[in-house]
Amino acid sequence: MTANQDGNGNWGNPLKARRLGIDTQDEAVIFLRKDSEICRSEGFASHARVQVTHGEKSIVATLFQITANTLHHFEAGFSDSAWYRLGLTEAGEVTVRHPAPLESLGSVRSKVYGHRLSYPAFYSMISDVVAGRYSGIQLSSLITACAARALDIEETIALTRSMVEVGDKLTWQSKPVVDKHSVGGLPGNRTTPIVVAIVAACGLTIPKTSSRAITSPAGTADVMETLTRIDLDLPQMRRVIEREGGCIVWGGAVRLSPADDIFIRVERVLDLDSEGQLVASVLSKKIAAGASHVVLDLPIGPTAKIRSQQAADEISASLIQVADAFGLRVTVVKGDGTQPIGRGIGPALEAKDVLAVLKGSPDAPAELRARALCLAGAALEIGGAAPVGEGFALAEAVLNDGRALAKFQRICEAQGGMREPPEANYKKMICATHSGHVTGIDNRKLARLAKLAGAPDDKAAGVLMHVRLGDSVLQGETLYTLHAESPGELEYALNYARHAGDIITVSAP
């Protein structure tokens, strides 16, 4: 036994923690000297997954080995993410050892080979994911397997339940608790803040938690972040609801279905999501948030996420069936998904559309207003605030007389103060090369364009639409404007716009 063997027979431990100031995003990284006693005695290879413990906290991190003199033999360097997750301070001590074998990876393989997974299998998989025991490579395999070997209803229920169980769960005094979700894929479909404002203004409880973008240029959380604070914890969210009846916060900060946010980061890299995971993602958040009644918005279009009436019917059936298993009542509202709803695509640009609708500005996007009223009407009806058939009219009245705007402002104030969305420093107008009618808008290419311009990470970046399907345009008239926060990204998006083929199709008359 050497001087540095701990009571459990671990050689080379403990180690002194050192923060290296390296941002690796969500991936926890630990740096150890290759010739350190710990690496030699434990036989750690570079890129190995190791278990790091500091006091009560323990994480699995990726090991990078240092071959230079940057670290001492009994030091362990940490990326920022690992540092925060372990709650470390300078000169804090850690122990490093082999992690327990990841047994739930057997379920991933089982899924790859086409076997059905049970609730216990999903639960242990999701528990391991939330504990940070899956590397990016392993998460990717899990997500790809569930996309390639479609989950059936029972598996989707099991996945949903697992995702609910591993996180926090909210309960509310007043019933019903209404919620709302749009199944993405349609740029500029930012109805949620308007719906929440109207529904809360009518006295219903609507504790809305939103996701960041998965594969789109902006999620509701990204948009709201340009207007107010969204990373509220549970007690803060509860105070907002008690005061205003509604809120729009980021789901990740309140740990409702925390696995979802981990999946989202990998799905983003792969540009991939599947029906089973989509249903589990949507409903696990609603169930965990304590909703009793949910309105789901399903835009249908050839380049939206839901491409046909048939696909919409299928996913509606799955959503309703899975929701039913949890005693959740669901109304599905299908709508036009052939073109962007608002004008802006990207966090700040969509926030400006939302404000224009709430303020009743004459240039507010009419389609966004109409869609929001439709969904708010459905929510008022399902929540019992309006008789069937009268929801839309009530929603319109509340929007027109300014009650919705006032409620929205109060919600933002309650969440931490309202602010103005940022404006991009770099813009470029894209004009029609010939006159004619707009006969096609490629939502996927538009979303790609907004992402290349920097959305959603750059809040002001994105695309501002100047035309809609059917509009007649003259040669040289602006079709859309690119917004970016850096010249590099503006150039990058512009380059794509030049080579991607028809993003907006203008047909000669």
Using CB under 8 A as the binding rule, the residues of this chain from 242 to 301 that contact a copy of itself are 266, 269-272
Residue 49 or residue 286: which is nearer to a copy of itself going by CB? 49
Give the CA angle between residues 125, 25, 58 to the nearest 5°.
Answer: 50
C-beta of 62: minimal distance to a copy of itself in Å? Answer: 9
Residue 38 or residue 295: which is nearer to a copy of itself going by CB? 38
Q: Specify the stretch interacting with a copy of itself by CB under 8 A; choose among 138-146, 248-256, 334-342, 395-403.
A: 138-146
Tell me which amino acid residue 497 is: A
Contact 401, 217 (CB under 8 A): no
C-beta of 417: minimal distance to a copy of itself in Å? Answer: 26
Contact 322, 155 (CB under 8 A): no
Which is the catalytic residue, given 128, 261, 273, 442?
273
Helix axes 275-288, 136-148, angle to 10 degrees: 110
The region that residue 141 occupies, defined by phi over 0 for left and psi between -120 and 50 for alpha, beta otherwise, is alpha
Residue 69 or residue 173: which is nearer to a copy of itself going by CB? 69
Residue 232 or residue 424: which is nearer to a copy of itself going by CB? 424
Contacts of 483 (CB under 8 A, 6+ apart): 346, 348, 349, 424, 426, 427, 453, 460, 461, 462, 463, 464
Distance between start and end Cα atoms, the chain? 87
Range 13-42, binding a copy of itself (CB under 8 A): 19-27, 29, 31, 34, 40-42
CA atoms within 13 A on the CB side of 269: 11
Per-residue contact flags (x/-) with a copy of itself for residues 458 to 497, judged by CB under 8 A: x--x----------------------xxxxxx-xx---x-
Give the CA angle between residues 273, 226, 132 to the nearest 5°.
Answer: 45
Range 144-203, binding a copy of itself (CB under 8 A): 144-145, 147-149
Tokens of 286: 């609603």
C-beta of 40: minimal distance to a copy of itself in Å? Answer: 6
Distance CA 150, CA 276 (A): 7
Distance CA 497, CA 147 (A): 30
Range 39-68, binding a copy of itself (CB under 8 A): 40-43, 45-47, 64-68
C-beta of 252: minimal distance to a copy of itself in Å? Answer: 17
DSSP bridge partners of 64: 31
Residue 38 or residue 465: which is nearer to a copy of itself going by CB? 38
- The reply on whether position 91 binds a copy of itself by CB under 8 A is no
C-beta of 450: minimal distance to a copy of itself in Å? Answer: 13
- The reply on whether position 138 binds a copy of itself by CB under 8 A is yes
Would you tell me how many other CB atoms lie within 10 Å of the CB of residue 52?
Answer: 25
Buried b (16+ CB within 10 A) or exposed e, 71-85: beebbbbbbbbbbeb
Residue 328 or residue 460: which is nearer to a copy of itself going by CB? 460
**How many residues make contact with a copy of itself (CB under 8 A)?**
72
C-beta of 77: minimal distance to a copy of itself in Å? Answer: 10
Residue from 14, 15, 78, 79 binding a copy of itself (CB under 8 A): 79
Residue from 87, 120, 136, 384 binding a copy of itself (CB under 8 A): 136
Distance CA 63, CA 33 (A): 10
44: phi then psi, degrees, rounded to nearest 5: -70, 130
C-beta of 297: minimal distance to a copy of itself in Å? Answer: 24
Q: Is position 6 annotated as part of the catalytic site?
A: no
- The reply on whether position 308 binds a copy of itself by CB under 8 A is no
Residue 269 or residue 474: which is nearer to a copy of itself going by CB? 269
Active-site annotation, residues:
273
